[in-house]
Amino acid sequence: MTKAKSGLRVAIAGLGVVGSEVARQLINRAGELGSAAGQPLHLVAVSARDRSADRGFLLDNIDWHDDAVAMARRDDVDIIVEMIGGSEGPALELARQSLASGKHFVTANKAMIAHHGSELARLTEDNNASLMFEAAVAGGIPAVKTLREGLAGNRISRVAGILNGTCNYILSTMEVTGAGFDDVLADAQRLGYAEAEPSFDVDGIDAAHKLTILAAIAFGQQPDFNAVSIQGIRDVSSVDFAYANQLGFRIKLVGVAEPGLMPRMQTCMLPLDSQLAKVNGVLNAVEFHGSPVGSVLAVGPGAGGGATSSAVLSDLLDIATGRGGFAFGKPVDQLTDASGVKNGAGPDKAFYVRLMVVDQPGVLATVTAILQKHDISVESLLQQGRAPGDVVALVMTTHETPVAVMTRALNEMEQLPIVKAKPVAMPILPVDMES
């Protein structure tokens, strides 16, 4: 083990892109970071699967551990930085061991915080430690700090955001190029924006983990991933972008959390002049709405070694200067039970609906009859050209209607012989959502 040193002693578990960048920063900028922290920050130990990999820094005077949990048992470590990932397994064991032994814990692990945040926060309170996870939400955007500190005196009425750079890149590229989902996903994987197994991203799960955390802090509730309504982007087609542009909208995967309502991650239509609609590529953006502040928008890189390590370093400096605070803004016993939020629909919504139908007489009458049956009012109806006997897109926008009612109507339409694919429906977020 390393000799005793003054200042705070840091150990890093997981030396991938982010973990290695944090290590390099602590080594190469030791004096600068120590000045900002008010005391030295020493990297004393690391753990990873492959000791031989070249990570751009030397292991001289840094202890190596094959077992990350063993680092949490060391008396000469003050802070554990976890970059292993996963909601269970070694990462969770490391978190429990670290906090139970009174060590501060810094993580970018949004899945673990979304699923086990309450348990880990209670461990911090019981053992006089800090649980910090700025890097778990929106990468380089200080979203957690903004809610927990900058807007702490506000009554938050809504948090909304683009929280997954992979999905935002795919949707932005589909809009610009006209390419299909599968082709753009393959391009994103080639560029390193999407994982080889992309389900967590494109199915909205990664973004929903982040929304769970934001909702917990914003509304003083226990983080509960199972209380989030989730829809991904797989059903979006290139044809939807053409119609969206014609209607004055842009397609985005947006998370919305409001007090008393189930947080929802949804592919939706945004007005072209809205703030979130202008956020393209791999960027993330978070909007905070509250009183008395009004509306605050933060935009920045949502992933990558630089952005995420920036958030980790911020957490380390907060611990060093005594700015840890409660993990979710208040003691665990004061957090409400998010599982009691049953209404995932929220207020009535206008919808964009696309049906792939056989172009034949009577189609429109059949579809509108179902809408009338469910008391759904159509605002506009679009169909490009005619192709008798072929499958074509029938697009409509509706006036505000309850989500449950729209779901029942779509299910009924899907059973029609003239409908040849699962109907696609996206809520249209109003302009005043951002007011």
Q: From CA 139, how far away is CA 284, in angstroms rounded?
A: 8
Of 216, 190, 214, 184, the C-alpha closest to 202 is: 184
What is the distance, to the nearest Å, from the Cα of residue 27 to the centroid of all Cα atoms in its chain? 30
Q: From CA 311, how far away is CA 363, in angstroms rounded?
A: 54
Length of the chain: 435
Helix (H) or strand (E) holding 77: none
What's the longest Cα–Cα distance across the chain?
Answer: 84
**Is the four-CA dihedral 196, 199, 203, 208 of positive or negative sign?**
negative
Catalytic residue status for 252 = no
Burial of 287: CB neighbours in 10 Å, binned 0-12, 13-18, 19+: buried
Burial of 141: CB neighbours in 10 Å, binned 0-12, 13-18, 19+: buried
What single string gives the DSSP state of each residue in 221-256? B---GGG-EE--STT--HHHHHHHHHHTEEEEEEEE
- Catalytic residue, chosen from 210, 330, 342, 422, is 210
Residue 360: CA count within 13 A, CB half-sphere: 10
Angle between helices 17-28 and 30-37 (to 10 degrees): 80
Q: From CA 337, how far away is CA 333, in angstroms rounded?
A: 10
- Report which residue type is found at 163: L
Active-site residue numbers? 210
